[in-house]
């Protein structure tokens, strides 16, 4: 069961509302996507369906290559490359889930992401991966929060520079979720469709 946390904070800036999920099992990718979107929009079943779709697309691309090689048979005999047996999902699954909302995920070390490296305030959310754990650092009403599901409560980050230094210190792999987050329309989980 996912626990919904609503937190009141000093001052009017965030309206006293933050969406935060506490992690259960190894479903941090599910919780990460939901905290980026600030609502319970995806379940582990939704992401598993996306992982299966991506596996099929990867297999189809290999087949369309024209030759069925030992690499193809090895790839085809392996378990999914997009979800592990314990429920950990790949970045491609997170990207696909956010595409449902017309959001793009760009690696932070990409040249196109240079403006966000210089001025993190340009973005609304960072998806981070550290030690097999996905979590979100998110701006809500102008304030930054570390919404890691391993925390019982969101942790407010006082400055975006500190946030990025923390990410570097922890040797995180980070990605930027498009800055249109706050304009995403509300949608029930059942309305999100998989291609």
Per-residue pLDDT 10s for the chain (195 aa) are: 223 333 333 333 445 578 888 887 788 999 999 999 999 999 999 999 999 999 988 888 777 766 666 665 565 556 777 887 777 899 999 999 999 888 888 887 788 888 877 787 788 888 888 878 888 888 888 888 888 888 878 888 766 555 555 555 554 556 665 443 433 434 333 344 444
pTM for this predicted structure: 0.73
Amino acid 119: pLDDT:
80
The DSSP annotation for 111-139 comes to: GGGHHHHH-GGG-SEEEEEETTEEEEEEE
Amino acid 33: pLDDT:
94
Long-range contacts, 92-97 (Cβ 8 Å, 24+): 92/54, 93/29, 93/47, 93/50, 93/51, 93/54, 94/29, 94/32, 94/33, 94/127, 94/134, 96/50, 96/53, 96/54, 97/33, 97/42, 97/46, 97/47, 97/50, 97/192
Amino acid 189: pLDDT:
36
Amino acid 73: pLDDT:
57
User: Which residue has tokens 């996306």?
Assistant: 50
Amino acid 180: pLDDT:
38
Amino acid 29: pLDDT:
92
Amino acid 143: pLDDT:
84
Q: Using CA atoms, how far apart are residues 107 and 117, in angstroms rounded to an integer?
A: 11
Amino acid 88: pLDDT:
83
Amino acid 195: pLDDT:
44
Beta-strand runs (E) in 117-195: 125-130, 133-140, 143-146, 155-157, 173-177
User: Which residue has tokens 């304030």?
Assistant: 143
CB 22, CB 2: distance < 8 Å:
yes
Amino acid 107: pLDDT:
82
Amino acid 11: pLDDT:
37
Cα distances (Å, whole numbers) of residue 179 to 20, 52, 121, 135, 141 = 19, 28, 10, 17, 13
Closest by CA position to 32, among listed 82, 88, 86, 84: 88
Measured torsion, CA atoms of residues 150, 151, 153, 157, in degrees rounded to the nearest 10? -120
CATH number assigned to the domain covering 23-180: 3.90.70.40
Amino acid 30: pLDDT:
93
Amino acid 77: pLDDT:
56
DSSP classification of residue 16: T
User: Which residue has tokens 């230094």?
Assistant: 165
């Amino acid at each position: 069961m996912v626990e919904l946390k609503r937190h009141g904070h000093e001052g009017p800036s965030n309206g006293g509302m933050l969406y935060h999920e506490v992690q259960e099992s190894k479903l941090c990718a599910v919780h990460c996507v939901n905290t980026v979107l600030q609502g319970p929009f995806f379940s582990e079943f939704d992401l598993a369906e996306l992982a299966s779709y991506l596996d099929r697309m990867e297999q189809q691309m290999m087949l369309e290559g024209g030759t069925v090689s030992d690499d193809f048979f090895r790839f085809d005999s392996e378990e999914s490359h997009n979800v592990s047996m314990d429920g950990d999902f790949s970045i491609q699954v997170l990207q696909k889930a956010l595409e449902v909302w017309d959001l793009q995920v760009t690696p932070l070390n990409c040249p196109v992401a240079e403006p966000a490296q210089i001025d993190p305030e340009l973005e609304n959310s960072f998806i981070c991966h550290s030690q097999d754990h996905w979590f979100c650092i998110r701006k809500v009403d102008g304030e930054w929060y570390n919404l890691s599901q391993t925390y019982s409560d969101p942790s407010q980050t006082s400055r975006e520079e500190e946030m990025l230094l923390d990410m570097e210190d922890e040797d995180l792999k980070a990605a930027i979720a498009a800055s249109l987050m706050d304009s995403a329309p509300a949608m029930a989980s059942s309305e999100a469709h998989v291609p």
